[in-house]
Structure 1
Amino acid sequence: MLLMANIHRYSNLLLKITFISISCFIQTCHCACNALDRDSLSSFNLSLSSSPPLDWSLSVDCCDWEGISCNGSSGRVTELSLPSRGLVGSISPSILNLTSLTQLTLSNNSLSGPLPARFFLSLNQLQVIDLSRNRLIGELNSSDALPAKARIFNISSNNFQGPIQTSFIETGLNLETFDVNSNSFTGIIPSVICSFSPSIKLLDFSNNDFTGLIPQGFGQCTSLLSLRAGFNNLSGSAPRDIYGLLPLEELYLPGNRLTGPIDPSLLNLTNLKSLALFGNELTGPIPEEIGNLFKLEKLELHINHLNGTVPDSLLNCTNLTLLNLRVNLLGGELSSLNFSRFVRLRTVDLGNNFFTGNLPRTLFLCKTLRAVRFATNKLSGEIVPEIASLPFLSFLTLSNNTLTNVTSAIRILSGCKNLKTLTLALNFFNETLPDNERLVGFQNMQVFGLGACNLTGRIPMWLSELNMIEVLDLSKNFLTGFIPGWLGDLPNIFYLNLSHNLLTGNFPMDLLKIRLLASKSNSDEVKNINLELPLLVKPDNISNMLYNQISYFPLALFIGDNHISGPIPAEIGQLKYVIWLDISKNNFSGEIPDTISHLTNLERLDLSGNNLTGEIPASLQNLNFLSSFSVANNDLEGPIPTGGQFGTFLSSSFEGNPRLCGRILKRTCSNNNTQSGNTDSSKMGNGHNQKKIIILTLVISCVIFTTILFLYLYFSRRKTIPKSEIDENDLEAVSFNSSVVFPEHKKEPSLFVLFPTNESNKMKDITIADILKATDNFNQVSIIGYGGFGLVYKATLSDGSNVAIKKLSGDTGLMELEFKAEVEALSTAQHKNIVTLQGYCFHDGYRLLIYSYMENGSLDYWLHERPDGPSSLTWPARLKIARGASNGVKYMHETCEPHIIHRDLKSSNILLDRDFEAHVADFGLARLIMPYDTHVSTELVGTLGYIPPEYSQSWMATLRGDVYSFGVVVLELLTGKRPVEAVKQGMSRDLVMWVQAMMNDGRVDDIFDPILRGKGFEDEMAQVLDVACMCVSRNPLDRPTITEVVEWLKNVGPGRQTT
């Protein structure tokens, strides 16, 4: 026992000695933080602000500070890691004293300015460098170099620029990651990096401004797993040495200008999991070798020019989750495609191709499917019951095919419990829509489209069970009977289209109960429709126009082209928040109710083709945002109002009313019908003769001005094509059925005038017959847009060049405002940021304006309609557009004589050429002023959301009014939002008010387009936001001049313009 006690005692003693020894050893090895490092970190901290502040107390060893790690033996700082810490400010040069630093992680902060000189040369022990998602600027040039030990180099989402110099990267011998995406780098992609860093695994050059061919050299990166270079300006084809990168798992090259066929050698990359080549100009078939990519998960080849069939070998890619081949020239029997082995497929998009046959039954074996689009193909047959076995299907569009048996289709699809979006338009032709079905499905349906099918029957009762429905389109069918009252009780509907049917009865009063159209508090509840894929719909009633994506549905009611009769009820004024209202081509009678003036958000109002009588209420002049209006083909009488937006409407808006009068119809009002609601009849008698004298004087003055202008243009500055050069036979053979501009009879000589520009010199021998040929007799398939006062067509001339031609509708003459304004404004304006008017021609009252063709359409299209538009418009591209547009407006306001007030600046009037250079367009509302004038008298014209607030109080258009509209355009560029958002929950519809509210709440970062956030441009965007907010100041005197705006935008960020 004693022996055991002694052993126990000595054991305890040994343990104590061991513990003390270890403690002493630890204390000996844990040296205090190096004094120089501590002071350097303190200086680094002083140059920044953070929220919450860094708790770096000098009373605590700096090795114990947040984000700091040290070497235990030397006390030198080896790691500085403060990601997502809210750091604001510039990086202090004191950080260069941390020469033992091996890891620097400052990602996702708001650091700005350039890096200290010789930054990486000084910190030559760095292995991990992560400065991503900040606002840093500078270049990667010969004054600095990568540390030799660096493994990870990530400076993505900043604003570095210039070419990446070879001397900078040649020292990075141990690199594994090189990520510079979302900056402003230029020049050739530095594939030479692979000769210095053969072990690199990730290369990301996406979202920059690299140009030219993809160079050889990447084949030396034998360990590369991911190569990303999307959304640059790369051209040609991929270099063949890429195809030897056998470990490669991701190849991402979308949004460039790559051409030619897909090289079959590409498909030797058998480890690929993601292949993205969409948004290029690739041609030819999909190679059969695609089946070699058996590990492929995402295949994105959409928006190219691929043809042929989908190869059977694709079946080998059993891991596919996304298959997108939309907008190509692919075809073949769709049912022959075997989807049975795609057990992980979530999204399949084969829309806008030429596939034929039935829906493939094997598709319904893909139980993970969520979104399917086969729209705009040539499919036939019936929808089969197996589709209801897809438990997660939420998006299905089969529009524009030739499917049959709508009754069966509805019954089957109602079994898809999670279906939210269903569009079946342009199918089931001349069938009967089932109205006796008792459906229990569609509980989650939000968007339902069954238009343009020529269906017969009645609006079915089962639709009343769709309590989640928001968008309902049954237009362009042959539906009969009354419009059911329960439509007004659907709690979430805000877009209802029943136009082009055979519906009868009186105006459906129950529709006035649609709560989202009648109440602001309810209209604010309209939600964004979250779609698995972008929904493609026609923007208006122009037939045969290409389908465009829209980013939101307006609050709208369409019941036009039916057989509804009786009066328009005065209660229609309850729909205060409707934006589009179309009740045209019915049998409505009686007067136009004055209460329509209560619909103050109206942008489009169509009352044409009815039996309406009486006068046009003068109160409609108060609809300040009305951009489209028609009362044509009724039995109205009296004077046409001239205030508000009425000064901008075409004569065609009023034609077919023999007793209407006014300047727009060139029909003088008699003494009787001038006694209207616009004028007090007691004051008319004595002043009538005086008014006649004034009118006569104005008419004579206009005739004299017109004659002088015409002779001057005709003889001094223009070229007239002799009548003998016009092919009269071609003109006479033309029919209005093809929407041709010229009538068959001739009342005046045809005139063709070209301005002296570089472009028009190339067109010097063009004739009117050439224009007809170039537009295929103004065939509607040539329509590319609809600008102010007319449709715009693309014309391909005999030499292969393109021009844009605006056709002004109706009997518009030279003295009518729109044609006169456009010709006057653009004939005097010559600037690289102003759209070029190459010439015009007119014949028998019809007018054509000939412009330079803008390959990339409008800014509105890229921001709000094109599916990949917002992501393609990087911040540098948006800033370039803002700068270019401001230069164009500056020229109008200050250089051009006489000066020009545009009066309708908006994103759809900013056109983009091939290089995304901005051009200000559409001068149909413009007014010329002399340099010593400050304003012109006007009516409240423009477009909802862009109109300066003072225009509602004064009929004076000013240069600073244009500045306001330009500021709204800049806010669109910054936010990605429309100036009037009809579908934002709980927020004001007005963009300016929303931005101001967000700034007042201190939520500046939330203002910016989510696509732009976190890419290192926040500092620049904040600067531009300040400029935009000054432009949209409510007080015009607080707004800058456009010259000041140009200078401010020029000096934003590091990329300052020199000219």
Structure 2
Amino acid sequence: MTDQATPIFGLHLWLVLGVSTGTIFVLLLFLLSLCFFKHKPNNKPIKPQTLIPITTTPQLTNINNNNNILTSGIEKQALLLEDEPKIQVVVGPEVSHLGWGHWYTLRELEDATDGFAPENVVGEGGYGIVYHGLVAATNTHVAVKNLLNNRGQAEKEFEVEVEAIGRVRHKNLLRLLGYCAEGAHRILVYEYVNNGNLEQWLHGDVGLCSPLTWDIRMKIIIGTAKALTYLHEGLEPKVVHRDIKSSNILLDKLWNPKVSDFGLAKLLGADRSYITTRVMGTLGYVAPEYASTGMVNERSDVYSFGILFMELITGRYPVDYKRPQEEVHLVEWVRQMVNERCLEKVLDPKMIEKPASCVLKRALVVALRCADLNSEKRPKIGHVVHILESQDQPSSKERRGVGDSRVAPHGSPSVESNEKQVTYIGG
């Protein structure tokens, strides 16, 4: 029946039915598409309802700061206020993306330190004021260093130091957690160490007896030497600290040292033996060649370490004009006492238990060697760690009390070592 012809152009009935069905299907699709586009929401660009800002200012206190990051140049971000459909422009700080660490907002650090309250100050110097803070979001105690000089060259150094030092990880180095760079503010955020610094325990009011026993002092000096070994020998480019001193050695409750304050640190590539820079540091700790020429390398840190070692043993400042003329400069006085074999006189009188004479002799000779006027004669700091850690296994000469601790010519003790023992050779 479907094969019979129809009046419609003489077509067969089955063909007419197929064409009609297809036409109806196409019409239905067309009608459905019209309905769909008619009820579709307006797809014109709309203003954002929320903003995750890239930068922030203290005035925008209602903005979520958790996802803030630094960006290059001046970034303009549009903010749609919830109560009115107009755009507010936020201008961020002119700081390059540092690419590392957590960026703390100024508001976070103000809240953490109670508005940088004076009662939260835990230290200050020529480069900034350090505050104790508590970051509420993570319930973390931090040390917040508000840098005072934040213009010109200091801006460049701030970026270099955050980029380089921020990745440093060592148990005897104070960890840099992050930073803040908003407007003119440049702030570094460190882990908080809760037992003060070495200067306070050596020179502060601790009573007639110091809690720093000989073993604790050796623990502090070895930990400091290990931190410097990591900076000098474990990193590329190596890092020269330039300001090793007792106030920069922080201590935890177990007397573990943390070397802090990389504000003067300089990077030294493998192809450079020295860098020339403006002389900066602390009186008494600065290496003589650095003070006279401005050239600094890792041997400059070794000199400062030697002075620190003598300060730890004697409980005296590196330079003390209140003392008799021959005792003003610590390194010269210690050298004289060693030459005259008056070793017991150099010990901190507040230290109750005295070390064995052979142990004291070794420590003094190593300290003097580190503070040699000739930088080429100073040992590498890694070698110093080996010598100090081997002191619990004295050589046969030391056990017999035969060692000679006289200072060699040019003001330097002569030290020879191998993996089994350390012996002293008279000058």
> Do the structures match in fold with TM over 0.5?
yes
Number of the residue aligned with 2:188: 849
Report SS of the residue matched to 1:722.
Answer: coil
> Contact 2:209/2:352 (CA < 8 Å) preserved in 1?
no
Correspondence list, 1:666-685, <5 A: none
Q: 1:895 aligns with which of 205, 230, 234?
A: 234
> Which string of whole-angstrom CA distances, capped at 9 and with x for unpartnered residues, describes residues 179-224 of structure 1?
xxxxxxxxxxxxxxxxxxxxxxxxxxxxxxxxxxxxxxxxxxxxxx
Find the partner of 2:364 among 1025, 1033, 1045. 1025
Q: What is the match of residue 749 of structure 1?
A: 93
Q: 1:811 to 1:942 in 2, by over 3 A?
A: closer
Q: Residues 222-261 of structure 1: matches in 2 within 5 Å?
A: none
Task: Report the equivalent of 1:835.
Answer: 174
Contact 1:862 1:869 in 2 (8 A): no
The DSSP-based 3-state class of the residue aligned with 1:942 is coil
The residue type equivalent to 1:885 in the other structure is: T
- Taking the aligned partners of 1:910 and 1:821, their CA distance within structure 2 comes to 23
2:153 is the counterpart of 1:791: no
Other-structure match for 1:567: none
Q: Check if 1:953 corresponds to 2:297.
A: no
Aligned amino acid, residue 54 of structure 2: P
| 1:769 Cα offset (Å) | 2.0
Which one-letter code corresponds to 1:1004 in the other structure? L
Query: Which digits, 9 at most, give the CA deviation of each residue in 1:312-344, with x for residues without a partner?
Result: xxxxxxxxxxxxxxxxxxxxxxxxxxxxxxxxx
Whether the aligned pair in 2 keeps the contact of 1:883 and 1:1046 (CA below 8 Å) is yes
The 8 Å contact of residues 213 and 352 in structure 2, kept in 1 or not, is answered as no
State the TM-score, normalizing by the size of structure 2: 0.67
CA distance in 2, matches of 1:848, 1:869: 39
Preserved contact between residue 935 and residue 958 of structure 1 (Cα < 8 Å): yes
Using the TM superposition, give the Cα deviation of residue 828 of structure 1 relative to its aligned residue in structure 2, in angstroms: 3.8
Q: Can you list the C-alpha shifts for 1:882-921, whole angstroms capped at 9, x where unaligned?
A: 0100000001101111101111111111111232211111
**Deviation per CA, 1:74-128, whole angstroms, max 9, x where unpaired?**
xxxxxxxxxxxxxxxxxxxxxxxxxxxxxxxxxxxxxxxxxxxxxxxxxxxxxxx
Task: Render the CA deviation track for 1:852-905: whole Å, top value 9, x for unaligned.
Answer: 111112111111124249611111111001010000000110111110111111
- Alpha-carbon spacing, 1:1029–1:722, altered in 2? closer, same or farther (3 Å): same
Counterpart CA distance in 2 for 1:872 and 1:881 is 13
CA distance in 1, matches of 2:208, 2:241: 26
Distance 1:869 1:960 in 2: 36
Distance in 2 separating the partners of 1:788 and 1:834 = 21
Matches within 5 A, 1:635-646: none
In structure 2, the residue matched to 1:728 is 60
Is contact 1:835-1:851 (8 Å) kept?
yes
Q: Is the partner of 1:812 in helix, strand or coil?
A: coil
Of 877, 883, 889 in structure 1, the residue corresponding to residue 216 of structure 2 is 877
- Residue by residue, what CA displacement relative to the aligned partner does 1:346-372 show, whole Å, maximum 9, x if unpaired? xxxxxxxxxxxxxxxxxxxxxxxxxxx
Gaps of 5+ in 2: 1-51, 64-89, 395-427
Tell me the alpha carbon deviations over residues 437-462 of structure 1, each in whole angstroms, 9 at most, x when there is no partner: xxxxxxxxxxxxxxxxxxxxxxxxxx
- Counterpart in 2 of 1:773? 111
Q: Distance in 2 between matches of 1:730 and 1:862?
A: 45
Q: Which residue of 2 aligns with 1:999?
A: 338
> In 2 relative to 1, CA 1019–1002 (structure 1 residues): closer, same or farther, beyond 3 Å?
closer
SS of the equivalent of 1:807 reads strand
> Of 263, 266, 270, which residue of structure 2 is paired with 1:927?
266
User: Which has the larger share of helix?
Assistant: 2
Displacement of 1:1008 in angstroms is 1.1
* In 2: Cα distance, 1:828 partner to 1:811 partner: 22
> Secondary structure at 2:293's aligned position in 1?
coil
* Cα pair 1:795 1:805 within 8 Å, conserved: yes
Task: Summarize the Cα distance change of 1:919–1:723 in structure 2 as closer, same or farther, 3 Å threshold.
Answer: same
* 1:1010 paired residue number: 349
Q: Which residue of 2 aligns with 1:973?
A: 312
Question: Could you give the per-residue CA deviations for residues 795-838 of structure 1, whole angstroms, max 9, x where no partner exists?
Answer: 01224321001001254357546524532441242211111111
Mapping of residues 358-397 of structure 1, within 5 Å: none
- Residue 15 (structure 1) aligns with: none
- Counterpart pick for 1:805 among 132, 137, 144: 144
The answer to whether the 8 Å contact 1:863/1:869 transfers is no
What is the letter of the counterpart of residue 1022 of structure 1? Answer: K
Query: Separation in 2 of the partners of 1:789 and 1:730?
Result: 33
Partner of 2:384: 1045
User: In the alignment, does 2:214 pair up with 1:908?
Assistant: no
Q: In 1, Cα distance between the equivalents of 2:195 and 2:132?
A: 13
Q: Quick one: distance in 2 between partners of 1:1025 and 1:887? A: 18
Residue in 1 that maps onto 2:34: none
Aligned to 2:418: none
Alignment of 1:454-533 (within 5 A): none
Contact 1:828 / 1:896 at 8 angstroms: preserved in 2? Answer: no
Give 1:803's aligned amino acid: V
Q: Which amino acid aligns with 2:121?
A: I
Equivalent-residue separation in structure 1 for 2:263 and 2:171 (angstroms)? 19
The share of aligned pairs that are identical, in percent, is 37
CA distance 1:1016–1:910, change in 2 (3 Å): closer
CA distance in 1, matches of 2:280, 2:180: 27
Contact 1:750 / 1:844 at 8 angstroms: preserved in 2? yes
- Alignment length (residue pairs): 315
- Superposition deviation, residue 939 in structure 1: 2.5
Shift of 1:1014: 4.9
How many angstroms apart in 1 are the aligned matches of 2:219 and 2:233?
21
Which of 360, 367, 374 in structure 2 is aligned with 1:1035?
Answer: 374
Quickly say closer, same or farther: Cα 1:852–1:989, change in 2 above 3 A.
same
Q: CA 1:838–1:1045 in 2, change beyond 3 Å: closer, same or farther?
A: same
Corresponding residue number in structure 1 for 2:48: none
Indicate the structure with greater strand content: 1
Q: Does 1:864 align with 2:203?
A: yes
3-state SS of the aligned residue for 2:327?
coil
CA RMSD of aligned residues (A): 2.8
Question: Structure 1 pair 753/1037, CA: closer, same or farther in 2 (3 Å)?
Answer: closer
Residue type at the aligned position of 1:948: A
Contact 1:821 1:924 in 2 (8 A): no
Matches within 5 A, 1:393-792: 722-723=54-55, 728-729=60-61, 748-749=92-93, 755=100, 767-792=105-130
Q: Which amino acid aligns with 1:993?
A: E
- CA–CA distance in 2 between the matches of 1:787 and 1:1039? 29
What letter matches 2:266 in structure 1? R
Residue number in structure 2 paired with 1:561:
none
Q: 1:979 is matched by which residue type in structure 2? A: P
Judged with a 3 Å threshold, the aligned counterparts in structure 2 of structure 1 residues 1013 and 870 are, in CA distance, closer, same or farther, namely closer
Residue in structure 1 matched with residue 162 of structure 2 by the alignment = 823
